[in-house]
Amino acid sequence: MPHRSDRPTDSSSPLRGCYVISLRPVGGHGALRRAAGSRGARLLALSPWRIGFRDDPATRDALRAALAAAHVVFTSPAAVRAAAALQPLQASPGQAWLAVGGSTARALRGQGIRNAASPARMDSEGLLAMPQLEAVRGREVGLVTAPGGRGAIADGLRDRGAEVRRADVYARLPVRPSPRVVARLRRLDAPAWLMLSSAEALARILSVLPADAAGVLRAARVVAASDRLRQFASEQGFKRIVRAEDATPAALVAAAVRHAKAPGDA
């Protein structure tokens, strides 16, 4: 049985009956499921990992150091939740608290950080373009994140001369797609759109899918959240790739709607 919110709700949408493939972590597909469902699409959840919070002395020490920096950057809502599980989040006078996207900023505000800011372009490049991070040479920047992913942020900050205090407060724990999910991928009976906001997630899922199922995935159209991800998808063998305005579920699905052909031609 399909998930209830997979049922089409927009009879005029060019995505009606199509599939939206999500590479979000286990339990993290809700927002994309709702965005897809509002356009009449069904969601296929293809999680490459689950989120596990860290709780050990080294992580706590690293977090304290990161939160004491003049600029504090959070890379995901999971980073906010994991940090808040280790200690209360409280901004000091003069600190700038920054989030890679709107969802992360909302998570920070939910923890009491009222001045949390995020870029209009919700990705690593957009974050690095924020005026708060233009002049960081010789300054400490706390980066609250997880191992892997978002490496462009730390590299970009170091290139500007910042001293990065990194706290990896959670981990992405690999999981394999269930046989049921792989079988569902193999028998897709309508056009599919892969929503791509993480190169690491795509690389992981391609590495664990059986060859025939990976071939089905590569036949899907891709909505990439950045030019960097568009290039990565091309390098992985995907042929039909379009660009979204940002990595939010609404923007990813909207890009698919803009580029979808009439039913029967996609």
Asked whether residue 82 falls in the same domain as residue 162, the answer is yes
Domain boundary among 126, 147, 172: 172
| Domain containing residue 77 | 52-172
> Which amino acid type is present at position 239?
K
Q: Measure Cα distances from 172 to 109, 155, 175, 201, 265 in Å.
A: 24, 20, 9, 10, 38
Final residue of a structural domain among 129, 156, 172: 172
- Regarding whether 58 and 103 lie in a shared domain, the answer is yes
Residues 116 and 185 in one domain: no
Q: Sorting pLDDT into bands at 50, 70 and 90, what band is 11?
A: low
Which helix (DSSP H) or strand (DSSP E) does residue 261 occupy?
none
Residue 242 has pLDDT above 60, yes or no: yes
Is 66 found in the same domain as 140? Answer: yes
pLDDT of 1 > 70? The answer is: no
Q: Are residues 242 and 199 in the same domain?
A: yes
Using CA atoms, how far apart are residues 220 and 218, in angstroms rounded to an integer? Answer: 5
Same domain, 69 and 121: yes
Q: Are residues 61 and 108 in the same domain?
A: yes
**Last residue of some domain: 172, 204, 228?**
172
- Mean pLDDT computed over 241-256: 92
User: Do 88 and 147 fall into the same domain?
Assistant: yes
Task: Answer whether residue 265 is part of any domain.
Answer: no
**Position with higher pLDDT, 264 vs 25:** 25
What's the pLDDT tens digit per position in 49-105?
999 999 999 999 999 999 999 999 999 999 999 999 999 999 999 999 999 988 899
pLDDT tens-digit readout, 94-111: 999 999 988 899 999 999
- Other beta carbons within 10 angstroms of residue 153's beta carbon come to 24
Residues 6+ apart with CB under 8 A from 54: 82, 168, 169, 170, 171
Measured from the Cβ of residue 105, the count of other Cβ atoms closer than 10 Å reads 23
Distance CA(23)–CA(43), nearest Å, equals 11
**Pair (139, 186) in one structural domain:** no
Mean pLDDT of 117-134: 88
Question: What pLDDT, on the 0 to 100 scale, is given for residue 47?
Answer: 97
161 assigned to some structural domain? yes
**Residue closest to 220 by CA, chosen among 12, 7, 18:** 18
Asked whether residue 266 is assigned to any structural domain, the reply reads no
One domain for residues 109 and 76: yes
C-alpha to C-alpha distance for 27 and 52, rounded to whole angstroms: 12
Find the radius of gyration of the CA atoms of the chain. 19
On whether both 86 and 189 belong to a single domain, the answer is: no
Pair 37, 79 in one domain: no
Q: What is the chain's mean pLDDT, rounded?
A: 91
pLDDT at 103: 87
- Residue 117 is assigned to a structural domain of this protein: yes
Lowest-confidence region among 5-14, 15-24, 64-73, 159-168: 5-14
CATH number at residue 210: 3.40.50.10090
Residue 264 lies inside a defined structural domain of this protein: no
Q: Indicate whether 149 pLDDT > 80.
A: no
Count of structural domains, the chain: 2
User: Does residue 219 lie within any of the structural domains?
Assistant: yes
* pLDDT tens, position by position, 131-140: 999 999 999 9
